[in-house]
Structure 1
Amino acid sequence: MAKTISKYFLALVPEGPLQEQATALKLQLKEKFNIKYALKSPAHVTIKMPFHWNEAKEGELAQRLETFFEAFGPIDLEFSGFDRFGKRVLFIAPKANPALSTLQSALSGFCRTTLKLEEELSDKAFHPHMTIAFKDTKPQRFDDYWSYVKAQPFQAHYQFKDVALLKKMENKWEVMRRMGLGG
């Protein structure tokens, strides 16, 4: 049987009102500016960028990650307003959180040593964010997007009690499994 390599990533994926609020914003951007790429995944804060993994060993990957995440407690994040990366990405901005930084740093080491994944620049230069527009944004229209988004009020608090393992399926990212923080 041929080995099937799939793409995965790890993120904090909120449920309920915060997910609904972020999705509503993505839909407004689609309606107003025809920006829709961010709708290919649920709203999330990435803690490990996409990586390739043998699909047949997905269960083993999830078990190893579940064991790893047991050592960390829930993470409270405050989201306040928006920010951007140049003229490419718009995002909901979480406030700095030492527990999140500690989790991401430890996860980066775990992925490198235990899962044998390559360390990427994003692993070393972690900048938490919840993307609402990227990839199909146009630099010449970016100031319009930015003016529209930053005029929206956005305040939210969410306690993340798990980390999601997402998998790319039919060109969309789906939550495959949620792994509890703190067992």
Structure 2
Amino acid sequence: MTSLYLIAILPPEDLSRQIHDIRLQCAEKFGVQKALKPPVHITLYRPFKIEDAFEGRMIRLLQSLASGLQPFRQDIENFEAFDSHAVVIRALKNPEIMRLQRAVASVFRKNEIDRQSPGSKNLPFRPHLTVAYRDILPEVFPMIWNEYKDARFKRAFTVEHFSLLKHDGEKWNRINDFKLSQMVRQPELF
């Protein structure tokens, strides 16, 4: 059997709650609900399907990757629109998040996990937290964007781990966290 998975950074609970409140206000005001389904997150690797039997191996591969990376500060700032189909909170690019995303993608590439079909688009990584997407009607998008385009939202948090989520047919469930824990070598004493 195959299941749907997602690899993402989940912000701390208090920040997730603040962002979820923004999503709720947007949903209530503009009738957009799809962004409320997944937890607040920054996608590191898009949703993908694999055989359930491969889950344990994938967890081991991601644990190995995480142990070689250090925690880092992630800044998020203001709102951005993706064409006319999504409104998001921008997660600022920094070397650490770019390194983490490339490392995750490399695990997939090297282990031939989730091979994309020919002709599928491989979009550049744009870290973000979604406020509204997928169910935005074309005539509603300008109203949503007008609401958020000049709004200010600035926060930061420490990324200490990333997570593997699995969809159970109704919702996403966190099944494993991968702690970023590169050990700093102590100088040898003679």
The separation in 2 between residues aligned to 1:27 and 1:101, in whole angstroms, is: 29
Structure 2 unaligned residues grouped into runs of 5+: 183-190
Once the two structures are TM-superposed, the CA of residue 141 in structure 1 deviates from its matched residue by 1.0
Q: Which residue of 1 aligns with 2:187?
A: none
Q: 1:102 aligns with which of 99, 102, 106?
A: 99
Q: 1:93 aligns with which of 86, 90, 94?
A: 90
Q: 2:52 aligns with which of 51, 55, 62?
A: 55
Structure 1 unaligned residues grouped into runs of 5+: none
Identity of aligned residues (%): 28
Contact conserved, 1:69 with 1:181, CA < 8 A, in 2?
yes
Q: How large is the Cα RMSD of the aligned pairs? A: 1.6
The separation in 2 between residues aligned to 1:115 and 1:179, in whole angstroms, is: 21
**SS, match of residue 66 in structure 1:** helix
Alignment of 1:1-183 (within 5 A): 4-118=1-115, 121-122=121-122, 125-182=124-181
Contact conserved, 1:12 with 1:47, CA < 8 A, in 2?
yes
TM-score normalised by structure 2 residue count: 0.88
The separation in 1 between residues aligned to 2:164 and 2:112, in whole angstroms, is: 14
The separation in 2 between residues aligned to 1:77 and 1:99, in whole angstroms, is: 9
TM-score normalised by structure 1 residue count: 0.91
The letter of the residue matching 1:90 is V
Once the two structures are TM-superposed, the CA of residue 172 in structure 1 deviates from its matched residue by 1.9
Once the two structures are TM-superposed, the CA of residue 151 in structure 1 deviates from its matched residue by 4.5
**SS, match of residue 60 in structure 1:** helix
What do residues 49-85 of structure 1 show as CA deviations (whole Å, max 9, x unaligned)?
1111111332222122111111111121111100010
Deviates more, 1:109-118 or 1:11-20: 109-118
The separation in 2 between residues aligned to 1:103 and 1:121, in whole angstroms, is: 21
Once the two structures are TM-superposed, the CA of residue 153 in structure 1 deviates from its matched residue by 2.9
The letter of the residue matching 1:144 is M
Structure having the higher helix fraction is 1
Seen in structure 2, the aligned counterparts of structure 1 residues 114 and 7 have a Cα distance that, compared at 3 Å, is: same
Contact conserved, 2:50 with 2:113, CA < 8 A, in 1?
no
The count of corresponding residues between Structure 1 and Structure 2 is 179
